[in-house]
Structure 1
Amino acid sequence: MKNFKKSLWTFLILFIVSFNLVWAEDIPNIIGTQAIVYDYETGEIIYTKDIDSKAYPASITKLMTALLLAENFNKNDMLTYTQSAADQPAYSYGKNVEQVLVGDKMSAENAMYALLLYSGNDIAYMIADNVSGDSSKFVDAMNAKAQELGMNDTTFVNPNGLDDNTDEHLTTPYDIALMTKAALGNKWIADTMATKKVTVSTQNSIPREIENRNSNLLDDTDKDGCIGGKTGYTTKAGRCLTAIYHVKIAEEKYRTLIGVVMNSEYNYPEDTIVFEDMNTLMEYGFNKEKDILKRNGDIVKSITASYKAIPFIGPNKTIDIPLIINEDIKYYKTEIEPEIDVKINTFDIWKIDESTPLGTITVKLKDYSKEYKLYSNISSSKLLKDNIIIYVGLGIGVLVLIILLVVIFKKIFGGKKRRYRY
């Protein structure tokens, strides 16, 4: 008995350990406290880690500034370097790369490079002043654009993401994914994010080479891997990164995923942790298989329908109709619970068959949704079988009625003929 108990405990311990190992292998081990993997084409969310909690985005903010620049200027338009731009602290183009004087001019194309590659804090304010007249009005435009994109948990306070003097400049990993999707959809911004190195200048300054701070960025965009994104860091925000990965999954077929990592560690000067986090997430995202929510043939819902056993005259009957899905419903299982909405079509019960859709089931996860048709194994032949006694009784009644009418007919008309012959 002792040996049996010992063996049982050993088995349970091994089972628990092996289960935990399998689970651990399935969940990405990252340093960032918040993260998401988002499918650019479908809007499906593949991985979540506290994606709706608000956090500081740091310089990822500049993607929104880039969107408004692209909406309001062309590449060759000239922007004027303003006093509010000159007042910005270090990690500014005019302080750390090349001196820029107030009133100097820079092309919008060079401004986009300096904003997204070098992440110039001053360039963000220069753009804001040139687009809206001042940074306050520009921030209003940023927040309006955020609402337009569905970034409902985002509040921007400035155009560059510095948060030393505010606790209100906040967003979420999910909202950043939506903003990154919009940025990738703009060719000017997408091309800029994919640029590794470039030379920029103002009208009155010496041209300088700047390099993209996204160290995961591919040297050759024809290869599989990171094709864009935006870095960020402040003491409050920690190390942040949004990134876009483009991978060939079949002949002539590619897949694009967006990843966001927030509040990771900044291991200066190597600065590798957040980029390792992102690669871990992307490896997980591209290899993740979907779970089955509903299987082909599952009954999604049953409805009770009323009908007349004999059309138009009755009697009134009811029947339970199972609504069946004819394909697997698959989804990426995350911390988000899918919302399920079932709608029933208007139909004539005497005309339904197994190929007639009787309704739909829609599965929704955030901004992703997919609709599936619902069918039933009920048909008019089933109704006929269920009411066979009624139909037999009706047939007998009709037959009796016919016989009765024949007898009456013979009595009436048969008697007249006999009198006529007599």
Structure 2
Amino acid sequence: MKQKKLSLLLTFIFIFSLTFNVFAAENNLKSEPQIYGKAAITIDMESGEIIYAKDIDKQMYPASTTKLMTALLLAKSKSKTDMLKYTQGAKVQPEYSLNVNLHPIGVGEEMSAEDAMDALLLYSGNDVAYMIADNVAKDAKDFSDKMNEEVKKLNLTNTHFITPNGLHDPNHYTTAYDLSVISRAAFENPWIRESMAKLKSTVKTSKGTTFIIDNRNKLLDKDGCIGGKTGYTIPAGRCLVAIYERDNRKILGVVMNSAYDQNDTIVFDDMKKIIDWSYSAKSVTLHKKDSVLTTKSIKYKPLGFIGHEKSINLPIILKEDVNYYDNQANKSELKEDINLTNMDLSSLKANNPIGTLTIKERNVSKEYKLYTNISKGSILKNNLPIYGVSAAIVLATLAVVGFIIKKILDIKRRKRRGKYI
């Protein structure tokens, strides 16, 4: 007997342990990843929805991720075959420059815009960024003005650029959110998309100097990473933009002000964590299908243009789930806007939408059609007693009128007969 009780107890403990582990696994899946980066974001590239958010509006220094904006302006103003001259502004740039780290380049040497794009995005050449600036604009100052004009076109309010390469300046800043918008715009350009996807490239100048460069994005071509841009200065910390595609779904990630360890792995680990989490993240339901959002009172006259007026409360319902991602941004910003348009009695049909629900998440809006489950027919059916009484009154009135008319006609006939007797 004791052995049987012990066996049952052990079985219970085993089952409880399994259940606890399942729930723990589910909770771990749902909990947001812990990263070193001070700010980070992931967005769905198709919808623009924010999936993961950590201090996305906190002002940060972008370091060389700035070069995505430089690349965007190059792609908009030049073609791949255009030749760019190496300038004095490029020549004086510090390390992580082709001229300093690989081979000296003379002022006036040329390279194709295609090679300049690769040197900018793969090698992250600080000198190449200034060469592009001097060839696209009058000078670096004029180029920074163009950068900030582009910022305004993207409707960003927390970004200001000073340099084309992102070397530190206290007035050169952005946010994780703003950088995600810039990165998305850059990735949508086919030339930039093609360049950032290269693992390596060969860059040549007009004097025959050849540079073989590798992409500094360690995640590229692994687990679905199809592009991105690295960045680092001491004030900015380690920064990274990465774009992934898995199962035909693209997600863009930004990590800012992460740690720079000896092997330079932390920022890449940060990115992998938020990307993996974002692909497994499930949106939460804000409103379920067939749920009543609100009610709307409408007035009508059962007998049309005559008679007394009645009112009825119409339940306003959805015919699909409304979902959103539960993150810092949506918790504080998500807004709902109900717009009812077809609210007259004749519009009340089973499959006829009577308005819309708009869900606003930062710069993304999703629209859902609204319906009511009360139709004109059901309202008419509920008013059958009124119609019955009204019909009886009409019939009685007609009978009385008919009787009166008959009496009048009879009197007239008798008078005519008396006239001829």
The TM-score, its normalising length taken from structure 1, stands at 0.89
Deviates more, 1:312-321 or 1:89-98: 312-321
Is residue 2:323 matched to residue 1:330?
yes
**Counterpart of 2:234 in structure 1: which amino acid?**
T
Partner of 1:311 in structure 2?
Answer: 304
Deviation at 1:114, TM superposition (A): 1.0
Residues 285 and 324 in structure 2, CA contact (< 8 A), matched pair in contact too: yes
Deviations along 1:123-161, one digit per CA (max 9) or x if unpaired, are: 111110111010000000001111212332111111010
Number of equivalent positions:
396
Work out the CA distance in 1 between the residues paired with 2:218 and 2:388. 82
**Counterpart of 1:131 in structure 2: which amino acid?**
V
Work out the CA distance in 2 between the residues paired with 1:136 and 1:183. 21
Is residue 2:202 matched to residue 1:202?
no
Work out the CA distance in 2 between the residues paired with 1:300 and 1:227. 42
Work out the CA distance in 1 between the residues paired with 2:245 and 2:232. 25
From 273, 276, 287, the equivalent of 1:280 is 273
From 345, 356, 375, the equivalent of 1:349 is 345
- Which aligned pairs between 1:242-391 and structure 2 lie closer than 5 A? 242-247=241-246, 249=247, 254-268=248-262, 270-337=263-330, 338-391=334-387
Partner of 2:7 in structure 1?
Answer: none
Residues 150 and 175 in structure 1, CA contact (< 8 A), matched pair in contact too: no
**Counterpart of 2:286 in structure 1: which amino acid?**
L
Work out the CA distance in 2 between the residues paired with 1:380 and 1:183. 52
Work out the CA distance in 1 between the residues paired with 2:193 and 2:359. 31
Deviates more, 1:408-417 or 1:103-112: 408-417
Unaligned runs of 5+ in 1: 1-14
Is residue 2:66 matched to residue 1:42?
no
Deviates more, 1:18-27 or 1:99-108: 18-27
From 33, 51, 60, the equivalent of 2:65 is 60
Work out the CA distance in 2 between the residues paired with 1:98 and 1:279. 34
Is residue 2:407 matched to residue 1:402?
no
Please give the secondary structure, in 2, of the residue aligned with 1:41: coil
Residues 36 and 258 in structure 2, CA contact (< 8 A), matched pair in contact too: yes
- CA root-mean-square deviation: 2.2
Work out the CA distance in 2 between the residues paired with 1:351 and 1:212. 60
Residues 76 and 108 in structure 1, CA contact (< 8 A), matched pair in contact too: yes
Task: Classify 1:256/1:17 alpha carbon distance in 2 versus 1 (closer, same or farther; 3 Å).
Answer: closer
Deviates more, 1:314-323 or 1:109-118: 314-323
Residues 100 and 205 in structure 1, CA contact (< 8 A), matched pair in contact too: no
Residues 298 and 343 in structure 2, CA contact (< 8 A), matched pair in contact too: no
Deviation at 1:121, TM superposition (A): 0.8
Deviations along 1:102-136, one digit per CA (max 9) or x if unpaired, are: 12112111111111111111111111011101000
Unaligned runs of 5+ in 2: 1-18
Residues 99 and 205 in structure 1, CA contact (< 8 A), matched pair in contact too: no
Please give the secondary structure, in 2, of the residue aligned with 1:127: helix
Work out the CA distance in 1 between the residues paired with 2:191 and 2:373. 53
Work out the CA distance in 1 between the residues paired with 2:61 and 2:21. 37
Deviations along 1:309-363, one digit per CA (max 9) or x if unpaired, are: 2212232222211111011111211112321111111443134122111100011
- Which aligned pairs between 1:117-136 and structure 2 lie closer than 5 A? 117-136=122-141
Please give the secondary structure, in 2, of the residue aligned with 1:320: strand
